[in-house]
Amino acid sequence: MKKIIFLALFATVSLVAKINVVTTYAYLGEVVKEIGKDNVKVDVLANPTFDPHFIVPKPSLITKLRRADLLVINGGQLEIGWLPPLLRGAQNRNINIGSKGFLDVSGVINMINKPAVVSRAQGDVHPDGNPHFVLDPHNISVIAKLIAKKLVLLDYANKTAYENNLQSFLQDWESYLKEYDAKMAVCKDKKVVQYHQLFNYFLQRYDYALVGNIEPLPGISPSSKDALKTINLMQEKGVNTILQDVYHEKKTAAFIAEKTGAKVIVLPHDVGSVEGTDTLKSFYNTIEERLCR
Ligand SMILES: [Zn+2]
């Protein structure tokens, strides 16, 4: 009898084929898990402590792509420096750009900082605009809707489950955003400089004045002359806060802080970038806590 029950259980479990979803970044993995729940298996390519523009390619990443039914990317050219060779290595036609199992979420985002002219002289510019839109928590809702649509398209049998999961996620997220926005509204000292054009969406959402970037141009390391320029700018404009990410060198910010008396705040750029940020909410909460308390 026991054996029969076991066999019956085994048969049910093995009948439920999960959708293998690979996402480039951790935050996308979290959204997919919220919408897909038990019907998906999620793998993330990028280590969230690395520079998101330059993820070190490893054979294990190709293996993940080879097995994928769906690839979800940030887009806006954020993956342009590292994903194409991995896709070529994986040779998985289901997930190539433009195929049914491919999703670029940047398509539903209002991208900011679009360059008027695209030229190498402007540094490593992103011609589609600033791709770091995950920093605005309001963007998560539109991304969740897009992901739900794609999961329904790939797995119609579970349409109701995906739609219900989306509804409960959106309801919860909207109430979370209300609380979050209220906390940010009373946050003080809203004049900052940052290392890279990384936190622009967050800064714009919460009415910060971004006075400058430590990098002279995107992707170009600052010289000591650039650092002096930033120091002068900060003193002139009365800036007391430097936003630093986890993956750029920290010497320049420390030097500028020493000369200006400003404080350096290290902020995560993705889920899991710093300790205690392994969910969407704890990621955004950590930004608020580090900035406002
Ligand atoms: Zn960038």
Any idea what the CATH number is for the domain that residue 207 is in?
3.40.50.1980
Q: Do residue 207 and residue 276 come from a single domain?
A: yes
CA angle at residue 122 from 262 to 98, to 5 degrees? 110
Domain that holds residue 54: 2-178
At residue 5, the pLDDT reads 52
The predicted-structure confidence for 146-181, as pLDDT tens digits, reads as follows 999 999 999 999 999 999 999 999 999 999 999 999
CA of 81 relative to ligand 1 center, distance in Å: 11
CB neighbours (10 Å) of residue 39? 19
| Structure tokens belonging to residue 220 | 């170009």
Helix, strand, coil % over all residues of the chain, rounded to 5: 50, 10, 40
CA of 196 relative to ligand 1 center, distance in Å: 7
How confident is the model over 207-211, as a mean pLDDT?
98
CA of 106 relative to ligand 1 center, distance in Å: 14
How confident is the model over 270-281, as a mean pLDDT?
98
At residue 17, the pLDDT reads 86
224 Cβ contact partners less than 8 Å away, ≥ 6 residues apart: none
CA of 187 relative to ligand 1 center, distance in Å: 25
| Structure tokens belonging to residue 121 | 């002289």
Distance CA 174, CA 181 (A): 10
CA of 78 relative to ligand 1 center, distance in Å: 7
Q: Do residue 25 and residue 116 come from a single domain?
A: yes
Q: Do residue 164 and residue 285 come from a single domain?
A: no
Could you tell me the end-to-end alpha-carbon distance of the chain, in angstroms, rounded to an integer?
61
Distance CA 195, CA 216 (A): 9
Distance CA 17, CA 249 (A): 44
**pLDDT interval class at 126 (50, 70, 90):** confident
CA distances for 63 relative to 20, 29, 32, 286, angstroms: 12, 17, 20, 33
**pLDDT interval class at 15 (50, 70, 90):** low
CA of 254 relative to ligand 1 center, distance in Å: 21
Domain count, the chain: 2
Q: Do residue 11 and residue 31 come from a single domain?
A: yes
Distance CA 46, CA 44 (A): 6
Q: Do residue 233 and residue 113 come from a single domain?
A: no
Q: Which of 178, 195, 212 is the last residue of a domain?
A: 178
Q: Which of 178, 198, 223 is the last residue of a domain?
A: 178
Q: Do residue 209 and residue 78 come from a single domain?
A: no
155 Cβ contact partners less than 8 Å away, ≥ 6 residues apart: 19, 39, 162
CA of 51 relative to ligand 1 center, distance in Å: 9
How confident is the model over 212-227, as a mean pLDDT?
95
Mean pLDDT of the chain: 94
CA of 184 relative to ligand 1 center, distance in Å: 24
Q: Do residue 166 and residue 284 come from a single domain?
A: no
Between β-strands 40-44 and 263-266, what pairing exists: parallel, antiparallel or unpaired? unpaired
CA of 129 relative to ligand 1 center, distance in Å: 9
CA of 185 relative to ligand 1 center, distance in Å: 26
How confident is the model over 243-261, as a mean pLDDT?
98
CB neighbours (10 Å) of residue 290? 14
CA distances for 250 relative to 6, 25, 72, 198, angstroms: 56, 23, 31, 15
Q: Do residue 169 and residue 253 come from a single domain?
A: no
* Alpha helix (H) residue ranges in 46-115: 59-67, 83-90
CA of 163 relative to ligand 1 center, distance in Å: 33
CA of 52 relative to ligand 1 center, distance in Å: 8
Residue 16 half-sphere exposure toward CB, CA atoms < 13 A: 10
At residue 117, the pLDDT reads 77
Percent of the chain with pLDDT over 90: 88
At residue 14, the pLDDT reads 47
**Comparing C-alpha atoms, which of 39, 69, 22 is closest to residue 162?**
39
Q: Do residue 269 and residue 135 come from a single domain?
A: no
CA of 219 relative to ligand 1 center, distance in Å: 7
Question: When comparing pLDDT for 122 and 210, which is higher?
Answer: 210
CA of 222 relative to ligand 1 center, distance in Å: 15
CA of 200 relative to ligand 1 center, distance in Å: 10
Q: Do residue 259 and residue 285 come from a single domain?
A: yes
CA of 62 relative to ligand 1 center, distance in Å: 24
How confident is the model over 23-33, as a mean pLDDT?
98
* Alpha helix (H) residue ranges in the chain: 2-15, 26-36, 59-67, 83-90, 139-154, 159-185, 200-205, 224-237, 251-260, 280-292
User: H or E element: which one contains 82?
Assistant: none
- Given strand 209-213, what is the order of strands in its sheet? 209-213, 191-194, 241-244, 263-266
Q: Do residue 242 and residue 104 come from a single domain?
A: no
Q: Do residue 148 and residue 100 come from a single domain?
A: yes
CA of 159 relative to ligand 1 center, distance in Å: 35
| Structure tokens belonging to residue 239 | 């800036």
Whether residue 75 is predicted with pLDDT greater than 50 in this model: the reply is yes
Q: How far is CA 245 from the centre of its chain?
A: 13
At residue 11, the pLDDT reads 47
CA of 56 relative to ligand 1 center, distance in Å: 16
Distance CA 39, CA 215 (A): 43
Q: Which of 156, 178, 200 is the last residue of a domain?
A: 178
CA of 197 relative to ligand 1 center, distance in Å: 6
Whether residue 12 is predicted with pLDDT greater than 70 in this model: the reply is no
Distance CA 43, CA 241 (A): 36
Whether residue 2 is predicted with pLDDT greater than 60 in this model: the reply is no
